[in-house]
Amino acid sequence: MDVTGTEGRSPLPIRPATVGDYEEIAQVWSASGLSVRFYGRESKQAFCRQLEQFPDLYLVATEGDRIVGVVLGSHDHRKGWINRLAVLPEYRRRGIGTALGSACDAAIRTHGIEIVAALIEPDNAASGVVFEKLGYRTDVEVRYYRKLSHPDA
């Protein structure tokens, strides 16, 4: 299934992720400078459990057999979230990140969710621009409180 961006402008095919993609997805995150919590929420077991819940919201962009970008969408029935968006460094600035974000946003909204959000660290300029291009706005100042069950969670 090709779920290439809502506006059909993705430079590469986008498809739902599968369990077999896990290792390659983890590599994309690592190569993109994102930490991978192999003993926490990005362990293979956790990934498979999440994928079962959101099979249409975990998306990858591919070139041939290679995964070059990834995004994980989710929702809690009230609000949607776009997480872990990453594109391999050598594939950036071709519109792939925007296309993945757009496809994920559209897929989340098919679940009847009318607000989709993303948490971005203040110094992550590239992500900020991508989400702004997608029409997202930072019109609410928030402080992010969290509590981990263990340090690797």
Q: Per CB under 6 A, which region of 1-9, 43-51, 94-102, 136-144 contacts ligand COA?
A: 94-102
The verdict on 93 binding ligand COA (CB under 6 A) reads yes
* DSSP-derived 3-state class of residue 10: coil
* CA–CA distance, 90 with 96 (Å, rounded to integer): 11
Neighbouring-strand partners of residue 62: 67
Site string for ligand COA, 10-49 (x = CB under 6 A): ----------------------xxx---------------
User: Least distance from C-beta 108 to ligand COA, angstroms?
Assistant: 15
Q: Per CB under 6 A, which region of 37-45, 50-58, 73-81, 123-131 contacts ligand COA?
A: 123-131
Q: Please answer whether residues 70 and 59 qualify as being in contact, where contact means their C-beta atoms are separated by less than 8 angstroms.
A: yes
Q: Please answer whether residues 40 and 46 qualify as being in contact, where contact means their C-beta atoms are separated by less than 8 angstroms.
A: yes
For strand 116-117 and strand 80-87, is the pairing parallel, antiparallel, or unpaired?
parallel
The verdict on 95 binding ligand COA (CB under 6 A) reads yes
The verdict on 117 binding ligand COA (CB under 6 A) reads no
If we measure between CA atoms, which residue out of 81, 86, 88, 83 comes closest to residue 117? 81
Residue of the chain from 30, 35, 53, 124 that contacts ligand COA (CB under 6 A): 124
Chain positions contacting ligand COA, by CB under 6 A: 32-34, 85-87, 92-98, 118, 120, 124-127, 129-130, 133
